[in-house]
Amino acid sequence: MGAFSTTCHLSSLEILLGDEVVLIPIKYSHLTETYLIYGSNDSCTIAWLPMFGTYNDFGNINLNKESECVCSSFRANINKDLMNIESVREKKSKAKFNFGDNFYLFKRESFDEVEGCEFSSDVDLIKRSKDESRYYKTDGIENNQDFLSYLQNGALIELSSRCVSRFGYHMIRKDIYDAMINKMYADKSKRVSSKISDLLNTEWSEEIYFEIGADKLGSKTLEFFNSDDYLTNKILYIVRLIIKAGASSMVNTNDISNAMLTWSLICGVYRDLGKSFYPNVRKHRDMKPIYTLNSIVNDHIDTRRKANIEYWSEENGYSADEAGRSEWDDRSKLD
């Protein structure tokens, strides 16, 4: 089987087998182009903390060890409200009021396989949620690999009242992300990292639970221009648990801290570019972020093109036509 390729959501450069990537889980309402979400579109938000890994030849992600904890916390958050699980359905049916999240995995009509629902209509998905025969049989999403596969295939759905949301993810080439942070956000990275450390190492008291709210986490610590209430309130629960347990005793505190930092920085990058995940978006202040990203991408293209020209030259035995076809390739035999 040949390797699949995809496109970096930030730079539009190709992502191929073995490339390091930053994975951004997203939650969105029905859109025609679900992988091209620009500007102040209020239909999309970051659904969980970013993760890191490498792109594999099945078009999926092999997570780095330090991101397994982050993915597991996301999966646990879904499982506790996954309506496919009989005990969850029973619990919610007994509740007098149910204003919480309800997640679903539907199966294909004639096969016991998870069905991608990305392009299904909201009306159809609401009907399916009332038909338990269409629920994919599972006692919960058991591992991160399956979970990422469901996200990739657009199989995970959330229904809240009559509002339907879908889940997926975007990928950013890590070399592009790293270069952007180093050139534009190095100072912010150090500052936010310090604030996250201070927050997680706050001495616990009963009053702290109420003092550390969405504003403290979102705008004051992560420096969001416009705090993402959906995810901030989800992560706030984890932050409070870490503080209560004592940050020094939490094995994966560094992983959570790094994921929170990346969340902050990515929202900043997209906001300043005017190409962003809602609601962390505003009109960009000046042209510097756009110029910086363009210069990073152009440097990559110029370096690759020069290497291609040298490799596919007539001196190396290639024809002019062959050299011309390969001059602008992002990848070549050089890899």
Domain span at 299: 293-326
- The token pair at 327 is 């001059």
* Mean pLDDT for the stretch of residues 62-79: 94
Query: Worst-scoring range by mean pLDDT, 17-21, 209-213, 284-288?
Result: 284-288
Same domain, 213 and 161: no
* Mean pLDDT for the stretch of residues 23-39: 64
- Specify the number of domains making up the chain: 3
Element (H, E) at 22: strand 20-28
Is the per-residue pLDDT at 280 higher than 60?
no
Same domain, 28 and 162: yes
pLDDT the model gives residue 275 = 73
* Mean pLDDT for the stretch of residues 165-184: 94
pTM confidence score:
0.87
Contact 275, 301 (CB under 8 A): no
pLDDT the model gives residue 68 = 94
Which value, in Å, is the radius of gyration of the alpha carbons in the chain? 22
CA dist., res. 55 & res. 5, Å (int): 9
Is the per-residue pLDDT at 58 higher than 80?
no
Same domain, 263 and 316: no
Same domain, 166 and 249: no
pLDDT band at 99 (very low <50, low <70, confident <90, very high): low
| Helix 65-79 vs helix 144-152: crossing angle, to nearest 10 | 70
- The token pair at 31 is 């859109």
* Mean pLDDT for the stretch of residues 68-89: 94
* Mean pLDDT for the stretch of residues 171-177: 95
Helices (H), 168-279: 174-184, 186-200, 208-211, 214-215, 229-245, 253-273
pLDDT above 90: percentage of residues in the chain: 47
Same domain, 217 and 262: yes
Same domain, 21 and 166: yes
Same domain, 163 and 43: yes
Whether 256 maps to a domain, the answer reads: yes
Same domain, 224 and 194: yes
Same domain, 215 and 102: no
* Mean pLDDT for the stretch of residues 163-180: 93
Same domain, 75 and 212: no
Task: Tell me the β-bridge partners of 7.
Answer: 14
pLDDT tens profile 109-154: 888 899 998 888 888 999 999 999 999 999 999 999 999 999 999 9
| Helix 253-273 vs helix 229-245: crossing angle, to nearest 10 | 160
At 104, is the secondary structure helix, strand, or coil? strand
Same domain, 114 and 32: yes
